[in-house]
Structure 1
Amino acid sequence: MKEADEMATIKASCPSCGDVELTAAQVRLVVCTVADWSYYSFTCDQCSDEVRKPAGSEVVSLLRTGGVKVERWTVPAEAMEEHEGAPIGYDDVLDFALWLERANDPVAALTALRPGPRVARR
C-alpha cells in the first residue's frame, strides 16, 4: 500500500504548458489560518515556471489524499488589523531612518509620541 501512495500521480495545470503530472513530493501545499490565503504550488517540468494556485478545502483534501504534506501558516493578528490613513511611502521610511540617526533615545521619543503602558527599561 505504501508503494501505491508514493506513486500517486497528481494532475495540475500550468498556465503556459497546460496539463502536467506531478508526484506528491513536487507539490507544496500551504494551509493558512485565513482560508482564502491557502495555496498549492509546483515548478512546471516543461517550462520551469513556478505555478501557484489557490487551495480551497476540496483541493486541500484531494492533495492530502494524494500524499502531499501540509505546511501550516498562521497569520499574525497584526496582519489582520484595520489601518487608517495613507500608506507609508519611501519618503516616510527615509525620514524615519534620518530621524533615528539623530535621536539620542529613540524609545523614549517614540513613547512620548504614542503614550501607552510604560515598560521598565534595563
Structure 2
Amino acid sequence: MTTIKASCPVCGDVELKPAQLRLVVCSRADWSYYAFTCPTCRDEVRKPADEEIVALLVSGGVPAERWHVPAEAFEEKAGAAISYDDVLDFVLNLDRLDVEASSLFG
C-alpha cells in the first residue's frame, strides 16, 4: 500500500494513506489544495496543491475532487455593500408579501 509523507506545522513529517488525504483540484489552479487530519495532533492541515503536487498525489492513489468556480465569483462587484438595514428591509418586505399572498389565496 502507498504511504504518503506530508508535513504538519505542529508535528513535522507524518505518514498518511491515500484515503486520509483530500485533494481538491480547482478550475482556478492557484485555488487547488490538499488537506488531511494529522494522525498525531488531530489538527486539520490544508496546503496549496500546484500541478506537480496534484500529479504526485493522484499517482499515489489520492482521488481528486474537481471544483469549478462559477464565473460569477470573478465578476467585478460595483456599489456599496449590503448593510444590516438592507437585510432588515428585505425581511420586512417578505412579511408584507406573505400577508398579501395569504389575502389573495387564503
Instruction: Flag whether TM exceeds 0.5 (same fold).
Output: yes
Aligned 1:1-122 pairs, distance under 5 A: 7-103=1-97, 104=100
Pairwise CA distance, 1:36: 1.1
d(CA) in 2 for partners of 1:49, 1:91: 39
Structure 1 residues 89 and 43: CA distance shift in structure 2, 3 A: farther
Q: Which residue type is aligned with residue 61 of structure 2? A: G
When the two chains are superposed, the root-mean-square deviation of aligned CA atoms in Å is 1.5
Q: Which runs of 5+ in 2 are unaligned?
A: 102-106
CA distance in structure 2 between the aligned counterparts of 1:91 and 1:74, rounded to whole angstroms: 33
1:99 deviation in Å? Answer: 2.2
Unaligned runs of 5+ in 1: 1-6, 106-122
TM norm structure 1:
0.74
**1:116 paired residue number:** none
